[in-house]
Each structure stands twice: as structure tokens, then as C-alpha cells.
Amino acid sequence: MQREKQLSKIDRRTFSAGALSTGAMVGGLASPSILRAQGYPAGQQIKFIVGFPAGGAQDIVGRVVADRLGVLWGVPTIVENVAGAGANIAMDRVAKGPTDGTQIMIVPPGFATNQFLYARMPFDPEKDIIPLGYVASIPNLLCVKKDLPVNSVAELIAYAKANPGKLNYASTSVGTTTHLSGALFVKMTGTDIVVVHYRGSAPAMNDLLSGNVDMIFDNIAAIVPQARAGTVKALGITTAKRSPHAPEYPPIGDTVKGYDTTSWIGVGVRAGTPKEICDKIEAGVKVICQDKLLKDRLATLVSESVGGGAAEFAQFVADERKKWGGLIAEQKIKME
């Protein structure tokens, strides 16, 4: 319940101060009239598709992206939540949708992993959706229950090796970045730690707090209030660098060389969308990622804007597919 209240506070902060208003410009954004003169989006309403329910990080960031691009272009925008099947339903809608730039995907990590997790996909993520912009990186945080006798990643590894098969970690759902962060940690450290799957973050957190599970890799925005309150012990962040918004947590990679995982958010459109439209969306994403409002919203999620263009985002997605595809196949991780 405490954790849900924390998330609710994050949501309210995110949508306050005019986050859904397209009336006022912010410093650094180009004139809407200039962009309209370039022929896109020609005053049309633009729909942003989010593959998850309202209230989570993907939805929160997706709404800010939609708002900022709407302000930048001087056009109305709406967000539609199309939840289900790890965002496959939403991505399938975009993959089969219009190619005029009026429907834009808020691209989730499943864009790089679902093809390995699901026996059948209703679309081809490598052919049907074009990645255009890398918006944000969202770290996960490794936490252990309060009474586990470890205080660092190194001590956790040593304890796990001394007690093979006795430790477990909570997964918020099969195939999520929190699950895969744990699976990669187990592989790279050569430890025997059992995964326990939950249907969502809240029940996983409840069992960590009650001591029914030993550890978790959870979205940092969700778990950092508990870590800072001392109800769980945070050992390390999953990204290669410390977060400027939570610098107290060292990277797991400082101890486990090469370890680096993140949740992330990008923007994409259906393949076949004209290049001039793709170029303008890519340029718009780069601009709004320097927007103070977007950066401030991300800071409430203990996350950072990236602002990578189409080539950088495409390479990042390809690297993610290579990293997770092999691990998923090796450990026979499947969605039913």
C-alpha cells in the first residue's frame, strides 16, 4: 500500500503543472509555425500508442512525449493505452496502422525481447516498425530484504555461492527487464539463485518486505522510496553509470564487469512511413529530449533523457536483441 501511494504521488507530480497542456511553449522549442510550414504534421491530430495501462513509467513518459511534441508542432495529440501481451497488441496496431505519421508508437523494451519470448508474433518487429528516437533510460535497482546478511554486491555474490539454491529473487513478470536483469546477474556471477515470478510489482514488493523472497531487481522509481526509508537494502543500480538522481547507489557493473541493463522508452512508426516524415519525428524527439519539462518529469522517475536519433536507437535495439535473445533461448524463458 505504501508503495502504491508513492507511485500515485509520482503520477500526480508528472501530470501537474500543465503536463497535458499544449498551449504554452517552453524555452528552447522551435516555433510551431516553422514546423507546420515544413508540411508535417499539417495540423492533424497525432495519436501516441502506449502498450501498458495508465500510471506506469511507459505511460507517464509517453504522455509527456506526446505533450511536448504537440507543443513543438502546434498540433493536438492524444494518448491511447493499448495494454496486453507485453505490448504486442499495441505494437501490432502500429505495425498495421497508418503510414502518414499520425500514429506514433511509444516503443517499450518488448520491442527487442518479445520475438524471443513468444512462440508466435502477429507482426515482425524487425520489419514492421521503424525505431526513430531513443527517449529515456530507466534503471532498475537491486535490493535485498532487510535482514539478509549482506551489504554489497560482492557480499551478495559470496553469500549466494556459499548457499547455492537457497536464495531467490522476485520477478515482476516473465520476460520483463526486471526478470531479465536478475537472470543476467545469475548467469554472469555463476550463482544459483531461484527466480520467483509474480503478476506485477506490488505483490513482489510485498513479499520482499515480509521476507518471503530474498531479493529483487525492480524499477528504481518504484522501489527507491523503500530503499531510502530503509525497509529494504539497496545494493546497486543496473546501469553502467551512477544515476545523477540517485548517486548513492553504485553500478552493479563495478563488481560484475560488463553488467549493464536498463528499461527504456523510445519512439517509432510503421514501416513504409515516408522518409521526410520520419526525419521530422526524429528531429522532434531530439529537440524535446533537451526540454527542461521532459527532463524534470524523467527526474521524478529517477531516469534520464537520452535524445538518440534513429541510427543510434536502431543500433541500441539491435544490441538489446543480441543480448537478450541468447539469454532467453539459453534459459528457455517463454511466455505462455
Segment 223-233, tens digit of pLDDT: 999 999 999 99
Percent of the chain with pLDDT over 90: 85
In angstroms, the CA 47 to CA 217 distance is 33
Q: Give the confidence band of 136 by pLDDT, cuts at 50, 70, 90.
A: very high
CB atoms within 10 A of CB 78: 11
Helices (H), the chain: 2-15, 32-37, 57-73, 88-95, 110-117, 125-128, 153-162, 177-189, 201-210, 220-229, 275-288, 292-300, 310-330
Burial-class residue 32 by CB neighbours within 10 Å (0-12, 13-18, 19+).
middle
> pLDDT per residue over 110-122, tens digit each?
999 999 999 999 9
Q: What is the DSSP letter of 251?
A: B
| The total number of residues written for the chain in this structure | 336
In angstroms, the CA 257 to CA 35 distance is 45
> pLDDT per residue over 67-94, tens digit each?
999 999 999 999 999 999 999 999 999 9
- All structural domains of the chain: 2-138+262-330 (3.40.190.150), 140-254 (3.40.190.10)
In angstroms, the CA 165 to CA 193 distance is 6
Answer whether 233's CB lies under 8 Å from 148's CB.
Answer: yes
